[in-house]
């Protein structure tokens, strides 16, 4: 009888020892425990040798698996703290290449084309006043250089003459950003111009109003966020040379000049 009692007590002790949970950490540490609660971020447990003792807490990130007393096993995926920041299409933080490498822009402003004619040692300048609108692209090459083709339509008026010009300056812009919302720049590049004219007094200016010209454009400006304010000056290289007409009168040579002051909005 005494042997039976000792055997029965041994079985109960063995069952009590085996009826415990085992927490296996990611560094292969084994914790004999009694699980109290499992949440999404942590596990609460008591130590198996003190089942009525204090409750301990361990983060799920540190646990590889839990082997329960009934033999079930629960594994834990390792989480990462890396956060992926989505890229916004027209953001910019100005350093975002998707935004800053290519943009569209719309232009508008004041224009002052001039025709400088000379004949028989005498020279004269005819100035027109007008406005322009246009659009273009801004292709960023690096943090300082951009390629900026523009397509500009200009109408200028003097007395009863209307001068209509279509200009295509292909500009290289060199800029320096003071901060994200403010910068300075200068630009230079070739320009193509096609000019037409109409009006009652067109006969006063027969030399050079209708013209095709290729020249150089220089400019400078300031950027405030996505708005640019700049001034450009273009001068033609294909100056029309003077010649003698059939009646012996000299035809004056004509030089084309163009001053613009405007604003552009980048999209």
- What percentage of the chain reaches a pLDDT higher than 70? 70
Look up the CATH number of domain 20-84.
2.30.30.100
pLDDT of residue 171: 92
Overall average pLDDT of the 192-209 stretch: 65
pLDDT of residue 83: 44
> How many Cβ atoms sit within 10 Å of the Cβ of residue 240?
19
* Alpha-carbon span 124 to 204, nearest angstrom: 13
Which pLDDT band, with edges at 50, 70 and 90, does 163 fall under? confident
Domain ranges of the chain: 20-84, 97-266
| pTM exceeds 0.85, yes or no | no
* Alpha-carbon span 39 to 22, nearest angstrom: 17
Tokens of 20: 């415990």
Which pLDDT band, with edges at 50, 70 and 90, does 63 fall under? very high
pLDDT of residue 236: 80
Q: What is the DSSP string of 221-242?
A: EEEETTEEEEEEEEEESSPBPP
Overall average pLDDT of the 55-70 stretch: 91
Fold match between 20-84 and 97-266?
no
Look up the CATH number of domain 97-266.
2.40.160.20
pLDDT of residue 13: 52
Per-residue pLDDT tens over the stretch 19-33: 689 999 998 899 999
* Alpha-carbon span 60 to 79, nearest angstrom: 9
* Alpha-carbon span 104 to 265, nearest angstrom: 8
């Amino acid at each position: 009888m005494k042997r039976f009692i000792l055997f029965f007590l041994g079985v109960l002790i063995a069952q009590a020892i085996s009826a415990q949970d085992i927490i296996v950490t990611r560094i292969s540490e084994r914790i004999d425990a009694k699980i109290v609660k499992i949440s999404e971020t942590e596990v609460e447990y008591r130590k198996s040798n003190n089942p009525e003792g204090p409750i301990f807490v361990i983060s799920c990130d540190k646990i590889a698996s839990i082997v329960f007393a009934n033999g079930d096993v629960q594994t834990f995926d390792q989480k990462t703290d890396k956060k992926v920041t989505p890229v916004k299409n027209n953001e910019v933080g100005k350093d975002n290449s998707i935004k800053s490498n290519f943009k569209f822009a719309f232009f508008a402003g004041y224009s002052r084309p001039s025709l400088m004619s000379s004949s028989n040692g005498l020279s004269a300048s005819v100035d027109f006043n007008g406005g322009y609108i246009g659009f273009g692209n801004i292709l960023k090459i690096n943090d300082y250089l951009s390629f900026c083709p523009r397509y500009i339509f200009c109408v200028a008026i003097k007395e009863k003459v209307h001068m209509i010009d279509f200009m295509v300056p292909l500009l290289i812009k060199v800029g320096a950003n003071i901060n994200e919302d403010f910068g300075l720049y200068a630009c230079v590049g070739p320009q193509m111009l096609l000019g037409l004219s109409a009006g009652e007094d067109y006969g006063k200016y027969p030399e050079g109003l209708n013209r095709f010209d290729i020249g150089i454009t220089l400019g400078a400006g300031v950027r405030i966020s996505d708005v640019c304010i700049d001034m450009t000056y273009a001068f033609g290289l294909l100056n029309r040379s003077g010649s003698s007409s059939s009646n012996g009168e000299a035809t004056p040579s004509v030089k084309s000049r163009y001053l613009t002051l405007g604003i552009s909005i980048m999209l």
